[in-house]
């Protein structure tokens, strides 16, 4: 069979300088109805490759400086995409090559209804007008499993959740019945259960319509579930490519092996840490949280009839002892970050107590934030950044303090002569190391890590996790590790607490919770996590809606009942 | 609370603040009000006459009572009596207002009519010669004071075309639309000149921002053609900052009218204000300033409504 | 310093910087009495002379040298512009910073007060102030300062609100950093860039407003020369002596252009968004 798309030596450069291309000679063939996954980290050129195929790269300042891309048209003729005129390309885009993007939040036009945006696609590709276009748009929304399609057509993008918007994007991309769909990290911005829904939907629609797909991702675990062929990219070069099983089972290139082995992959609790098992009741907790409750008032104002509150955190209890990592996992809106912020006093607890044992420093609890770009003041140099906790504690910047700075810089693996540098001179991973060093300046006992590795590239993630484990052992630190990423949690946690809708639904040893989940939500969450061993496995389409956290005034949740599922493993009764 | 509801709620508050400011600034004029009002002629008054006048204008009362009365009068449309014209202030203002309003609106139409297409043209030809020319013109336009533009227009018209724009008189729009337009077109160009330049600049930069947004890429990926991407997908988003600017600039237009009306000797509200200051007719100054500020506030409210109409995120958001 | 290098290599920025420098030199020479002629002296026999070797830019109705008067006028305009923008920056920044930082009621009160000031078109507010205090240099400074204070307050409040939600401010709170430290190191230091741009552009507007006020006869009072006033005096002589219109007009335009170009260049250089776009 002729390939649908045949790419040879594709070379793409930005700006006027063609000597430093971003994509350097990538070649592949894609057969009709098959899926090619392009895997790589940021800067690997995987997205640029994707955008080159429908030539959207032209609008971002990119140029195809070499190679060819032959697209077989329905009539059998081959169109050379790299040479095609913009006029021809407009007829190809959407009709023969559809595309969906990473950021569903910004990829829809905010001033047009989703209905209008889908109808436009039907108008362009099928010539449908008025009622017929509306009817087609409604059917398209039905097809991507949006309930109440007729109603939703009138919604504006900002009124829909991220998962919904991505479905709208899919509905729009499929309006023209394209024979090739390019999906550029379509699930990266989504929660893991929503990701599973979108992946299931894509697999189903692809089978139904017999279309080919190019699936761009940084997560090799996702690839296992959907791809026929895999292409691994690093620094603009395709370092390895082949059939799915060959690449996953017998990787040839070091980088592929690194992606498969060094990077965190979820392993069903088998890879959980076994060092430093906790002796229940013996160790004095460094932090004891009891019945923590955080509520944010909503709808308070002159005209609102029913003021209520968002019950962001509802009756959370846990202990954290010296030297252990407690991971709080949950999806967006579960209250995990609010819990962390309440412990640091960044949000006020509505009720409950947070007891911190007096440790050896002035401030025994420190925090590392998610975004290393936002948590360092861009106008301060490293010395001033590291000095801030000490200055806040009333110390002077003297030789002893500078000595501590260089000591910690060395500990976190940064050059010790970088005190005069500014944050923009560091990479994301280095900045996060800087944040960790800053958190350790006052010799704390507990570090709260709020999605501390989530913004990092996967291989950087692995190294920062290793660093955190080393530091924990050396300084006897306790970590409260907030994350949505089960693979990362499995690597670092001794114990895991699963949060859902503001409450802990299950808590226990990492190995036990991740391998034998008891609560239905924990099971759902773990079932949604992609893994290397779940090859070509369909995810279930599960559309359980998240309950609203907005409660009327005076609402009190029912008392929680717990059952023991093993030593230290407690599950909330549903 | 809804954005519009909040906007409507603060409106009377701001208006109250404006009235306070205007009332008390006029009260801060050194010397007593009678002297301020009548100038040197006040010296001819007997103490009894003074007393009577003070009682007549209510300025023998405590200042708070004066303000209360004045505010109560305001709410009934009573802005006091103009000493110069011997007529109620509101009557004098309403005689002059149509000219200024028409002038400002005409200037706005000219500015938006030139500025938005020019800005879009420049943005879609980013860094090409069209863009450079538009940017240079806009930069020059923004740096030229209105009176320089006005005087240059008068000079060119009179020296090269032997045409002197009719000055001093004013034909209302409804009396003779052509004559009216002939009188107002050059003042309106003068007034709208700098505004057109800022509209050009802001449309260009807003358009550039929007064109690099993700949803524009989505539209292109969908197969929408180049011009439809610009006009249908990008422009509605790029207009949002232009609308905001228009509200602010309308104030500058009302203010700039003072200068333009002075140059073209047009009997509008701006010139009335200026003359009232010269004549120390404080009731009239007070009335004019208040009236213009009120108009500005109303226009800004309308702009906010337009803003909400353009941007569903504002219209439909809870806060 | 890097910023100077950046401006020098910015195509329009260096034009703007050159114009501003030239004007500063001219104003300084004027202040030191280094003018071609005495700006106030009336050379009666040389009335309305066209530009010549003696009078580079001609003379006015009273036989005063236009070039010398322009030099003094530039100085006057600059003093008023710098003083008023300086005051507006000081008060506006303070109000905007505290309103944004405190939030809640203080924010509401401060910003509604600023809204009241913003409800007046700039020239009109200046007119009102001049009506109260009478025309003059100090009144012009005060009027322009009051007009631009709310604009600076808004310019500062926006970024303050977004900076205050940034993670590094949250981090500072977890360290227990003092309010003073957070305001000066985390907020003000990051506001320097947007403020610099705003100050430069405000200087352009202030020159514009000052010229407008003195054109209306409400700014600098005769016989002291000022750019706006010279234009106003030239109005009725434009047929006989167009140079009286041309030179002050060009002087005003060029000065404002200089600040506008400089401000735009600063924005290009300091704004991370345009940096990303050109990158």
Three-state SS letters, B143-199: CCCHHHHHHHHHHHHHHHCCCCCCCCCCCCCCCCHHHHHHHHHHHHHHHHHHHHHHH
B272-289 average pLDDT score: 87
Per-residue pLDDT, B319: 36
Residue B77 lies in a domain: no
Residue B304 lies in a domain: yes
Residue B193: name the closest of C258, C263, C128, C208 by CA: C208
A394: left (phi over 0), alpha (psi -120 to 50) or beta: left
The most confident of A203-212, B27-36, B111-120, C118-127, by mean pLDDT:
B111-120
Residue B221 lies in a domain: yes
Q: How confident is the model at residue A539 (pLDDT cuts 50, 70, 90)?
A: low
Burial of C82 (0-12, 13-18, 19+ CB in 10 A): middle
Backbone angles phi, psi at A450, to 5 degrees: -95, 100
Residue B7 lies in a domain: no
Q: Which of residues 181-200 of B touch C (CB under 8 A)?
A: none
Backbone angles phi, psi at A499, to 5 degrees: -110, 140
**A29 neighbors A242 (Cβ within 8 angstroms):** no
Contact between chains at C216 and B26 (C-beta distance less than 8 A): no
Q: How confident is the model at residue A432 (pLDDT cuts 50, 70, 90)?
A: very high
Q: Which of B93, B126, B151 to mutate to test the interface with C (most CBs of C within 10 A)?
A: B151
Q: Does B8 touch chain C (CB under 8 A)?
A: no
Q: CATH number for the domain including B209? A: 1.10.3720.10
Instruction: Enumerate the residues of chain A whose CB falls inside 8 A of the CB of residue B212.
Output: 60
**C163 neighbors C99 (Cβ within 8 angstroms):** no
Output the average pLDDT for chain A: 89
Instruction: Enumerate the residues of chain A whose CB falls inside 8 A of the CB of residue C271.
Output: none
Output the average pLDDT for chain B: 86
Contact between chains at C260 and B252 (C-beta distance less than 8 A): no
Per-residue pLDDT, C252: 93
Per-residue pLDDT, B51: 80
| Minimum distance, in Å, between the CA of residue A141 and any CA atom of chain C | 36
Instruction: Enumerate the residues of chain B whose CB falls inside 8 A of the CB of residue C238.
Output: 151, 154-155, 158-159
Alpha-carbon separation of residue A130 from A115, A126, A135, A156, B176 (angstroms) = 12, 12, 9, 19, 45
Q: Which of A86, A88, A105, A111 to mutate to test the interface with B (most CBs of B within 10 A)?
A: A111
- Which chain A residue shows the shortest CA-CA distance from C186? A377
B96-116 average pLDDT score: 93
For the stretch A319-355, pLDDT in tens is 999 889 999 999 888 899 999 999 999 999 999 999 8
Residue B296 lies in a domain: yes
Q: What percent of chain A has pLDDT over 90?
A: 63
Residue B82 lies in a domain: no
Per-residue pLDDT, B24: 86
Q: Does B91 touch chain A (CB under 8 A)?
A: no
For the stretch A516-531, pLDDT in tens is 999 999 999 998 888 7
Alpha-carbon separation of residue A513 from A138, A320, A340, A522, A567 (angstroms) = 42, 17, 21, 8, 11
| Minimum distance, in Å, between the CA of residue B234 and any CA atom of chain A | 9
CA-CA distance, A97 to A119, in Å (whole number)? 18
- Residues of chain C predicted below pLDDT 50: 274-279
Residue B316 lies in a domain: no
Q: Which of C13, C81, C128, C233 to mutate to test the interface with B (most CBs of B within 10 A)?
A: C128
Q: How confident is the model at residue B222 (pLDDT cuts 50, 70, 90)?
A: very high
Per-residue pLDDT, C279: 28
**A320 neighbors A261 (Cβ within 8 angstroms):** no
Long-range Cβ pairs for the range B32-36 (8 Å, 24+): B33/B57, B33/B59, B33/B282, B34/B59, B36/B280, B36/B282
Q: Which residues pair with A240 in a beta bridge?
A: A232
Contact between chains at C185 and A344 (C-beta distance less than 8 A): no
For the stretch A265-288, pLDDT in tens is 888 888 888 776 555 555 678 899
Provide the 3-class DSSP secondary structure of residue A60. helix
Instruction: Enumerate the residues of chain A whose CB falls inside 8 A of the CB of residue B237.
Output: 109-111
Q: How confident is the model at residue B30 (pLDDT cuts 50, 70, 90)?
A: low
Contact between chains at A120 and B214 (C-beta distance less than 8 A): no
**Facing C119 at nearest CB: one of B18, B25, B144:** B18
A32-38 average pLDDT score: 94
Q: Does B218 touch chain A (CB under 8 A)?
A: yes
User: What is the total count of domains within chain B?
Assistant: 1
The alpha carbon of B96 is separated from its chain's Cα centroid by a whole number of angstroms, namely 14
Q: Indicate whether A64 pLDDT > 90.
A: yes
Residue B290 lies in a domain: yes
- Which chain C residue shows the shortest CA-CA distance from B211? C277
Per-residue pLDDT, C277: 36
Per-residue pLDDT, C276: 38
Per-residue pLDDT, B32: 63
Contact between chains at A388 and C177 (C-beta distance less than 8 A): yes
Residue numbers of the domain that contains B160: 89-310
A47-69 average pLDDT score: 92
């Amino acid at each position: 069979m002729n390939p649908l798309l045949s790419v040879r030596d594709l070379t793409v450069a930005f700006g006027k300088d063609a000597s430093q291309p971003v994509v350097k000679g990538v070649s592949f063939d894609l057969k009709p109805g098959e899926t090619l996954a392009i895997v790589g980290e940021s800067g690997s050129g995987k997205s640029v490759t994707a955008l080159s195929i429908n030539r959207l790269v032209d609008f971002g300042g990119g140029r195809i400086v070499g190679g060819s891309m032959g697209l077989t048209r329905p009539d059998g003729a081959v169109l050379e995409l790299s040479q095609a005129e913009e006029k021809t390309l407009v007829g190809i885009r959407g009709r023969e090559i559809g595309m969906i993007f990473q950021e569903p939040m910004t990829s829809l036009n905010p001033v047009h209804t989703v209905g209008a945006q889908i109808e436009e696609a039907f108008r362009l590709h099928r010539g449908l007008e008025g009622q017929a276009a509306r009817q087609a748009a409604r059917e398209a929304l039905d097809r991507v499993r949006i309930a109440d399609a007729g109603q939703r057509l009138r919604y504006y993008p900002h009124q829909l959740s991220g998962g919904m918007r991505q479905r709208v994007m899919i509905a729009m991309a499929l309006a023209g019945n394209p024979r090739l769909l390019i999906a550029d990290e379509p699930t990266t911005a989504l929660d893991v259960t929503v990701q599973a829904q979108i992946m299931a939907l894509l697999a189903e629609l692809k089978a139904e319509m017999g279309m080919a797909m190019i699936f761009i991702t940084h997560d090799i675990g996702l690839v296992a579930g959907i791809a026929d062929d895999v292409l691994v990219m690093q620094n603009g070069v395709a370092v390895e490519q082949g059939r799915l099983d060959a690449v996953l089972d017998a990787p040839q290139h070091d980088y592929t092996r690194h992606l498969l082995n060094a990077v965190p992959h979820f392993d069903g609790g088998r890879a959980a840490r076994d060092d430093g098992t906790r002796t229940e009741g013996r160790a004095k907790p460094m932090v004891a949280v009891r019945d923590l409750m955080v509520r944010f008032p909503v709808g308070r104002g002159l005209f609102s009839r029913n003021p209520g509150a968002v019950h962001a955190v509802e009756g959370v209890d846990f202990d954290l002892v010296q030297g252990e990592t407690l991971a709080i996992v949950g999806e967006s809106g579960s209250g995990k970050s609010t819990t962390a912020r309440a412990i640091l006093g960044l949000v006020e607890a509505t009720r409950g107590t947070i007891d911190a044992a007096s440790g050896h420093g002035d401030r025994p609890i420190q925090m590392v934030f998610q975004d290393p770009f936002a948590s360092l003041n861009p106008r301060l140099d490293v010395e001033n950044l590291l000095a801030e906790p000490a200055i806040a504690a009333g110390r002077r910047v003297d030789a002893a303090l500078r000595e501590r700075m260089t000591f910690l810089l060395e500990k976190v693996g940064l050059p010790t002569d970088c005190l005069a540098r500014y944050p923009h001179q560091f990479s994301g991973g280095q900045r996060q190391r800087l944040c960790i060093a800053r958190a350790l300046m006052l010799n704390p006992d507990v570090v709260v890590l709020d999605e501390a590795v989530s913004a990092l590239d996967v291989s950087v993630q692995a190294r920062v996790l290793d660093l955190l484990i080393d530091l924990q052992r050396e300084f006897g630190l306790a970590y409260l590790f907030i994350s949505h990423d089960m693979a990362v949690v499995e690597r670092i946690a001794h114990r895991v607490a699963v949060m859902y809708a503001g409450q802990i639904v299950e808590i226990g040893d990492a190995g036990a919770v991740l391998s034998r989940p008891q609560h239905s939500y924990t099971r759902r969450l773990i079932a949604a996590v992609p893994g290397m061993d779940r090859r070509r496995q369909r995810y279930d389409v599960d559309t359980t809606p998240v309950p609203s956290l907005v409660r009327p005034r005076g609402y009190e949740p029912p008392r929680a009942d717990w059952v023991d599922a093993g030593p230290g493993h407690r599950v909330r009764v549903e | 609370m809804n954005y519009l509801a909040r906007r409507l709620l603060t409106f009377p508050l701001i208006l109250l603040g404006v009235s306070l400011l205007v009332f008390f600034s006029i009260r801060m004029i050194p010397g007593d009000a009678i002297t301020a009002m009548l100038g040197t002629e006040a010296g001819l008054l007997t103490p009894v006459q003074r007393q009577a006048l003070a009682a007549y204008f209510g300025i023998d009362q405590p200042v708070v009572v004066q303000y209360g009365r004045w505010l109560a009068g305001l709410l009934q449309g009573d802005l006091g009596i103009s000493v110069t014209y011997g007529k109620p202030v509101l009557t004098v203002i309403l005689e002059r207002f149509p000219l200024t309003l028409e002038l400002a609106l005409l200037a706005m139409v000219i500015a938006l009519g030139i500025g938005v297409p020019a800005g879009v043209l420049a943005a879609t030809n980013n860094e090409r010669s069209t863009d450079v020319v538009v940017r240079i013109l806009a930069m020059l336009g923004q740096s030229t004071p209105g009176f320089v533009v006005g005087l240059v227009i008068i000079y060119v018209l009179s020296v090269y075309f032997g045409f002197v724009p009719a000055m001093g008189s004013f034909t209302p729009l409804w009396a003779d639309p052509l004559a009216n337009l002939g009188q107002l077109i050059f003042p309106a160009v003068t007034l709208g000149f700098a505004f057109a330049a800022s509209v050009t600049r802001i449309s260009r930069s807003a358009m550039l921002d929007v064109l690099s947004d993700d949803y524009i890429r989505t539209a292109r990926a969908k197969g929408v053609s180049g011009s439809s991407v610009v006009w249908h997908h990008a422009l509605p988003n790029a207009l949002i900052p232009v609308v905001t600017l228009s509200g602010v600039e309308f104030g500058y237009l009302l203010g700039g009218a003072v200068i333009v009306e002075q140059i073209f000797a047009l009997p509008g509200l701006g010139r009335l204000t200026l003359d009232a200051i010269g004549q120390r007719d404080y009731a009239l100054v007070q009335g004019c300033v208040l009236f213009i500020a009120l108009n500005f506030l109303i226009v800004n409210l309308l702009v906010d409504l337009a803003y909400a109409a353009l941007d569903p995120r504002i219209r439909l958001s809870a806060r | 310093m890097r910023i100077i290098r950046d401006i020098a290599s910015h195509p329009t920025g260096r034009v703007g910087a050159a114009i501003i420098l030239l004007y500063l030199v001219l104003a300084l020479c004027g202040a030191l009495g280094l003018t071609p002629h005495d700006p106030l002296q009336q050379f009666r026999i040389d009335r309305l002379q066209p530009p010549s070797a003696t009078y580079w830019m001609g003379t006015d109705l009273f036989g005063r040298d236009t070039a010398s008067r322009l030099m003094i006028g530039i100085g006057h305009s600059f003093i008023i512009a710098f003083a008023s923008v300086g005051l507006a920056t000081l008060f506006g920044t303070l109000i905007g910073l505290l309103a944004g930082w405190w939030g809640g009621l203080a924010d509401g009160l401060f910003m509604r007060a600023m809204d009241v000031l913003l409800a007046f078109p700039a020239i009109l507010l200046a007119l009102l102030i001049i009506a109260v205090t009478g025309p003059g240099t100090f009144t012009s400074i005060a009027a322009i300062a009051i007009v631009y204070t709310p604009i600076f307050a808004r310019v500062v409040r926006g970024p303050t609100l977004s900076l205050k939600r940034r993670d590094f401010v949250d981090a500072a709170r977890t360290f227990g950093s003092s309010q003073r430290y957070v305001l000066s190191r985390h907020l003000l230091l990051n506001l320097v860039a947007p403020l610099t741009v705003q100050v430069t552009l405000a200087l352009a507007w202030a020159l514009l407003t000052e010229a407008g006020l003195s054109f209306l006869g409400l700014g600098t009072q005769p016989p002291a020369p000022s750019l706006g006033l010279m234009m106003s005096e030239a109005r009725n002589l434009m047929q006989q002596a167009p140079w009286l219109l041309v030179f002050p007009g060009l002087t005003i335009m060029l000065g404002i252009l200089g600040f506008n170009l400089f401000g735009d260049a600063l924005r290009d250089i300091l704004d991370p968004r345009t940096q990303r776009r050109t990158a």
